[in-house]
Amino acid sequence: MKTYLGVDVGSVTTKLALLDDQDRLIASTYLRTQGRPIGVIQKGLEDIRKQMPPQAEICGVATTGSARYLAGVVLGADLIKNEITSHAVAAMYYIPEVQTIIEIGGQDSKIILVRDGVVVDFGMNTVCAAGTGSFLEHQASRLNIEIEEFGGQALKSQAPVRIAGRCTVFAESDMIHKQQIGHKTEDIVYGLCQALVRNYLNNVALGKEILPPVAFQGGVAFNQGIIKALEEALGLEVLVPPHHELMGAIGAALLLREEIGGNSHKTNFKGFEVSQTDFTVSSFICKACPNLCEIAQISGEGKILARWGGRCDLWEGATTS
């Protein structure tokens, strides 16, 4: 059985998805990155190995996400793709007529506009946390609620409280004030969901033409309160595709199969022994020009495997022994 592995390494979560040659998901894992992407990639690879059918063979690996270059070096990627392309391809696979893709992750959020099967525009928020999942996690912690219970609590609300959600700091202050004057927890929780949606629409989606069908993906799509708040704000049905939390990894695997499927291709995948390899990541300042870029480098088995991170391509792919 030929299989294709997609790996999406984000700042908060790392996702791995293994597809067969019929594009069916046959193995997956969803892990917290916890600031140690290499260790989590290795753990994810072990998880995939345990789930794989005995006759399966990995024909290639594709990486995406904010740490896609790092993951590509660690695993031996055959394809490295940006997350916009990966998320769009996965969304169009599950919802072929999709025109708007809303993706809210742990520390960034995106909107992707698709017309006639082609990405025509996108927007990203990578600076402010108030339109991301970490905003909800932080407030859930303040309210002493498990994040998994957040959506259920929000749906109980009968009179949601308006929270000033343009900034995480102000939102927390406003939320505490609402608690102190006696508002119900579920009304505060749904108010936070509405605040996140307002922030997303007023920043990431500002000026974008949101047309149906609308797909909502990313880990935050587990939250039923956010789905309800999005539908109220947009006046449209919001569709959550299957495996919504894995869409970046699935999209990367789909792109990989499209590129190498049916061809005689020798994969760069380093194999499952990667999970036992010791890697080290370090950085230095390049002084070749006034930009003074910080260059990341990864080493393993006594040699530098790759460097990246500059504004030019001076160090891209440079290796030494």
pLDDT tens sequence across 127-148: 665 567 777 887 888 888 888 8
Whether residue 101 is found in the same domain as residue 83: no
Residue 239's DSSP bridge partners are 215
Whether residue 49 is found in the same domain as residue 132: no
Which of 119-123, 153-157, 274-278 tops mean pLDDT?
119-123
- Which amino acid would we find at residue 104? I
Confidence category of residue 321, pLDDT binned at 50, 70, 90: very low
Overall size of the chain counted in residues: 321
If one counts the domains in the chain, the total is 3
Whether residue 85 is found in the same domain as residue 117: no
Q: What is the pLDDT of residues 270-317, one digit of tens each?
A: 999 998 888 888 889 999 999 899 888 888 877 888 787 777 878 765
Whether residue 160 is found in the same domain as residue 296: no
pLDDT at 255: 97
Tell me the pairing of strands 214-217 and 238-239: parallel
Q: Which of 240, 263, 290 is the last residue of a domain?
A: 240
User: 215: closest CA among 41, 310, 90, 306?
Assistant: 90
Which of helix, strand or coil describes residue 7? Answer: strand
Structure tokens at 97: 């007529």
CATH of the domain at 172: 3.30.420.40
Which of helix, strand or coil describes residue 30? Answer: strand
| pLDDT at 165 > cutoff 70 | no
Q: How far is it, in rounded angstroms, from Cα 295 to Cα 284?
A: 5
Inter-residue contact 98 to 92 (CB < 8 Å): yes
Q: What is the pLDDT of residues 46-101, one digit of tens each?
A: 999 999 999 999 999 999 998 898 899 899 999 999 999 999 999 999 999 999 99
Residue 93's contacts (CB-CB under 8 Å, 6 or more residues apart) are: 23, 250, 251, 254
Structure tokens at 310: 């500059």
Domain membership of residue 310 as a residue range: 278-321
Q: How far is it, in rounded angstroms, from Cα 266 to Cα 186?
A: 54
Inter-residue contact 38 to 54 (CB < 8 Å): no
Whether residue 43 is found in the same domain as residue 61: yes
Whether residue 74 is found in the same domain as residue 162: no
pLDDT at 305: 82
Q: Which of 240, 266, 294 is the last residue of a domain?
A: 240
Confidence category of residue 164, pLDDT binned at 50, 70, 90: confident
Whether residue 86 is found in the same domain as residue 54: yes
Whether residue 296 is found in the same domain as residue 267: no
Whether residue 87 is found in the same domain as residue 5: yes
Whether residue 68 is found in the same domain as residue 127: no
Provide, rounded to the nearest whole percent, the portion of the chain with pLDDT above 90. 54
Q: Which of 217, 240, 263 is the last residue of a domain?
A: 240
Consecutive H or E run containing 282: strand 279-285
Structure tokens at 104: 């809210």
- Mean pLDDT for all residues in the chain: 88
Whether residue 113 is found in the same domain as residue 231: yes
Whether residue 205 is found in the same domain as residue 270: no
